[in-house]
Structure 1
Amino acid sequence: MDTLLLLDPVAFSIGPLTVHWYGLILGAAALVGLLLVIQEGKRYAIPQEVFMDMVLLGVPSAIIGARIYYVAFKWDDYKDNFWDVFKIWNGGIAIYGALIGAIICAVIFFRRKGYNFWRMADICAPGLIVGQMIGRWGNFVNQEAYGGPVEESFLRNNLHLPDFIVNQMNVNGVFHHPAFLYESLWSLVGLGILLVLRRQKFLRAGELFMSYFIWYSIGRFFIEALRTDSLGFQAPAWVASVVNGMWSPMTAMGFEQGYLDPAYGNVRISQLLAIAIIIVAVLFIVVRRVTGRADVRYSDPIVSTKVPSEPSDDMPQTGAPGTGAGKDSKEDKTTSTLAREEQRQAEDKKE
């Protein structure tokens, strides 16, 4: 076996200040995601400050949500040591909790800015998944969020992983599934799908955001069962049987589930939540299509109700109240609206 070289979780120190790779990687993940969102926002003339402010508020909200989610399902470990709840540097956050916190913040923030949440969430979806793709490498450096034990030969010969990953998956002399890598690669494929999907004419408002949740949750359902640090839930035996049955294709491919402490339950919470999210997301898309509520396309303009639009120099000015110019302008808008609706109906027939 090659000489074991583990990565130092500390990137550098300046006096008493210690900077960890985990923090740098998460910062890079947030920055790359933000740049991707800003670039797409330019197509809709959305000021980049809107997204920058969203990140400044969303990141703390995500951290708080992630911690509350984790502590809620492990309350027995904290109820007698309440101050440990705030010691987030000791670990203990959950990504679904982070998403819940960030979404709540986004709903409030975008509403105050006058933007439709679903339109803005669609723009942010690729940024979210690229952030998760990069952020998982923080778990790699910290040797956390890994899967169950495997043979070294599985990592080298079956997965053909480079030495630096194989060595880092050696935790206290035992090699483990690189669950971080599985999820990072799954997110990379998902990013490509979202980037292609958002340029399709059939895509309606909110559907790219739902597609992100569907793709991520499918991967999370199968990858979560490999991990040994999952939050558990004591569910009826039939629920555990259904979940295990759905995961059985992984067993056929030679994978085994990681250890789940019976003291915490018989089903992984993230797997149950992944199933629920997939169902809700699919229903969201179908119901809105069937009821006709999905009438706004992803490609349609995005306008804030709080920012008055200014007429450009090359657009005709409307006349003062009481003159014919104002009336003509209204008629032109009506004609334009009808033309857009006829074009949309024609496109729908082509689809």
Structure 2
Amino acid sequence: MLLTAQPLDPIAFELGPITVFWYGILIGLGALLGYLLVNREMKKRGLPEDMLADLLIFALPAAIIGARIYYVIFRWEQFADNPMRAFAIWEGGLAIHGALIASVITGLIFAKVKKVSFWKLADIAAPGILLGQAVGRWGNFMNQEVYGGEVSRSFLEGMMLPDFIIEQMFINGSYHHPTFLYESVWNLLGVALLLYLRRWNLRRGEMFLTYVIYYSVARLFIEGIRTDYLLIFGTLRTAQVLSIILIIGSIILIIYRRKTGLADKRYLDD
């Protein structure tokens, strides 16, 4: 059985010289589903119908570039001999934290230019961002990346996983934790949580900061299982360090905004 486990083909189809990878399709599908979810809510909140499309024109390219730059910086040894491979994003290697940093910077500039509250936009977008991440992780699955340490086949079967997932987790001669799946499921649960929290009419900005805390908690623990992690200072796992910073920073920001009156407005206002 071990000798016959075959990975899924990462190529979806080919059109002449053009090769379309499942990685790109699933990342795009995640972005589309996130867009549909966010756009529906933006209309409810009274924002212009074309505002989200205008934002995505800048935010999506920025997110992809930021995600790749972040990955390449912390994995430069893979690209030092052939720097042009840094542009081969279809091979995988997009770091979510890099995408989020670039997206937040883009959102801040966009909100300032459009004279709209950044926190209002961020709160509305939070569930859609998490949905996009949940779907996008299946692109990592197709590329056989974002996996954890070795486990037995019986361990995976005990999780009631379908055979196609179990066999895809057979990498380099052994089975591995499907950490992509752990994160995807956690993110989907997070989407449901954020949609539920809308009814609580949280203070402005706290929906987005709850998303940051929620995702960072999962990443802090899941990163400890993964084998394809990025390192900072040669010893610390970058995602874990950043997750701790984001959790503490978000909590401080929530307290600060409440005490200074910056969070007096609520999600359902306007």
The TM tier, using the shorter chain, reads: over 0.9
When the two structures are superposed, what TM-score results if normalisation uses the length of structure 1? 0.73
**Structure 2 gaps, min length 5:** none
Instruction: Render the CA deviation track for 1:247-281: whole Å, top value 9, x for unaligned.
Output: xxxxxxxxxxxxxxxxxx22201001000000000
Larger Rg: 1
Q: Which residue of 1 aligns with 2:227?
A: 228
5 Å-filtered alignment, 1:168-179, equals 168-179=168-179
Pairwise CA distance, 1:77: 4.5
- Alignment counterpart, residue 259 of structure 2, candidates 290, 293, 318: 290
Is structure 2 residue 93 aligned with structure 1 residue 92? yes
Take 2:249 and 2:232, find their aligned partners in 1: how far apart are those partners?
A: 21
Tell me the amino acid that sits aligned with residue 227 of structure 2. Answer: T
- Distance in 1, Cα, partners of 2:256 & 2:113: 27
Which runs of structure 2 are paired with 1:325-340 in the superposition (5 Å)? Answer: none
Q: 1:108 to 1:179 in 2, by over 3 A?
A: same
In structure 2, relative to structure 1, the CA distance for the partners of 1:77 and 1:25 (3 Å cut) is closer
Q: Which amino acid aligns with 2:53?
A: M
**Structure with more relative contact order (C-alpha pairs < 8 Å, separation 6 or more):** 2
Please state if 1:66 is matched with 2:67.
Answer: yes
**For residue 142 of structure 1, what is the aligned residue in structure 2?**
143
**Mean Cα deviation higher: 67-76 or 166-175:** 67-76
Aligned partner of 2:163 in structure 1 is: 163
Q: Which amino acid aligns with 1:272?
A: V
CA contact (8 A) 2:220 2:239 kept: yes
Aligned equivalent of 1:266: 235
Letter of the aligned partner of 1:168 in structure 2? Answer: Q
Counterparts of 1:290 and 1:271 in 2: how far apart (Å)?
Answer: 29
Residues 299 and 97 of structure 1, relative CA distance in 2, 3 Å threshold: same
User: 1:164/1:75 Cα in 2 relative to 1: closer, same or farther (>3 Å)?
Assistant: closer
CA distance in 2, matches of 1:284, 1:89: 36
* Aligned twin of 1:210: 209
Q: CA deviation at 1:300?
A: 0.7
1:180 aligned onto 2:180: yes
Matched, 1:102 2:103: yes
Structure 1, residues 292-336: CA drift from partner, whole Å, max 9, x if none? 2211111111xxxxxxxxxxxxxxxxxxxxxxxxxxxxxxxxxxx
Q: Output the CA distance in 2 between the equivalents of 1:196 and 1:280.
A: 24
User: How far off is 1:17 after superposition?
Assistant: 1.6
Partner letter of residue 198 of structure 2?
R
- The verdict on how the C-alpha distance between 1:109 and 1:131 changes in structure 2, with shifts beyond 3 A counting, is same
Q: 1:11 deviation in Å?
A: 1.1
* Residue of structure 1 in register with 2:197 after alignment: 197
Cα distance in 2 between the residues matched to 1:85 and 1:166: 30
Q: For residues 104 and 63 of structure 2, what CA distance do their matches in structure 1 show? A: 8
In 2, Cα distance between equivalents of 1:272 and 1:74: 16
Q: Specify the code of the residue in structure 2 equivalent to 1:178.
A: P
Q: CA–CA distance in 1 between the matches of 2:143 and 2:250?
A: 33
> Whole-Å Cα distance in 2 between the matches of residues 84 and 179 of structure 1?
26
Amino acid at match of 2:243: A
Separation in 2 of the partners of 1:5 and 1:86?
28
1:76: Cα distance to partner? 4.5
Is 1:8–2:9 an aligned residue pair? yes
Q: Which residue is 1:38 aligned to? A: 39
Contact 1:5 1:164 in 2 (8 A): no
TM-score, normalised with respect to structure 2: 0.94
- 2:156 partner letter: L
- CA contact 1:66–1:97 (8 Å) conserved in 2: yes
Q: Which amino acid aligns with 1:58?
A: A
| 1:107-145 CA-partner distances (Å, limit 9, x unpaired) | 111221221101111000000000000000011111111
Residue 299, structure 1, aligned to residue 262, structure 2 = no
CA distance in 2, matches of 1:160, 1:87: 35
Q: Deviations over 1:200-228 (max 9, x none)?
A: 13x11100000000000000000011111
Which whole-Å CA distance do the structure 2 matches of 1:74 and 1:180 have between them?
Answer: 19
Instruction: Give the conservation status (yes or no) of the 8 Å contact 2:30–2:131.
Output: yes
SS in 2 for 1:226: coil
Cα pair 1:170 1:176 within 8 Å, conserved:
yes
Post-superposition offset of 1:81: 4.1
The equivalent of 1:276 in structure 2 is: 245
Amino acid at match of 1:267: L
C-alpha root-mean-square deviation of aligned residues, in Å? 1.7
